[in-house]
Structure 1
């Protein structure tokens, strides 16, 4: 169970960093840039912890990617006013379905 908690924390750190990228103004804002780099360092560290606990890299990365894409797209629409069209929603759904299939294949 702790492995999934660590993976969730890694995803949260990556999402925080990704959403903050917009505010670095091309890495010209030093404090926001430091925040983004710190988020990514934490995310990669936590992902390494997940992998060291035995989760297959394909599964960990697939879950990381699918959840990250879904959350960033949703929060981008809600918090940043970015568009989220039906074809994009269908695409994200297909990604999530693919990850579920990958996870079921390892069970």
Structure 2
């Protein structure tokens, strides 16, 4: 089971890299960022598929998307000067709380 969560962490890292370079690709007009984006998403989905061998899809996706949203928001703030407004911050906090609730209280993850 630990291996599956390592795959999930790596999937999240590649997704964050791919999404960051998607912005830098300027609608796929810049070759290097575009290649990094495509390779990153391929790695992301491959690693996510390995995760799903043992981790229920709902749990894996909640963690993957929740962590990704938080880190991409931080990267957007730092690298692209995209500061979220209060509704966006509240929404992100609710997403994080949802992921925590799923992981702490759901029996779904005990498979």
Q: TM-score, normalised by structure 1?
A: 0.92
Structure 1 match to 2:44: 43
- Structure 2: gaps spanning 5 or more residues: none
Instruction: Report how many aligned residue pairs link the two structures.
Output: 106
CA shift at 1:2, angstroms?
2.1
Report the RMSD for the aligned CA atoms in angstroms: 1.2
Instruction: Identify the range of structure 1 (54-63 vs 79-88) with the bigger mean alpha-carbon deviation.
Output: 79-88
* Alignment of 1:31 onto 2:32: yes
C-alpha distance in 1, partners of 2:22/2:67?
Answer: 18
C-alpha distance in 1, partners of 2:28/2:21?
Answer: 11
Structure 2 match to 1:7: 8
**Residue aligned with 2:82, SS:** coil
* Alignment of 1:56 onto 2:44: no
- Structure 1: gaps spanning 5 or more residues: none
C-alpha distance in 1, partners of 2:35/2:21?
Answer: 10
Stretches of 4+ moved more than 3 A in 1? none
CA shift at 1:85, angstroms?
2.1
**Residue aligned with 1:70, SS:** helix
Structure 2 match to 1:93: 93
CA shift at 1:87, angstroms?
2.1
CA shift at 1:34, angstroms?
1.1
Q: TM-score, normalised by structure 2?
A: 0.89
Residues 63-84 of structure 1: CA distance to partner in whole angstroms, max 9, x if unpaired?
1010000110011101221112
CA shift at 1:91, angstroms?
0.8
CA shift at 1:5, angstroms?
1.6
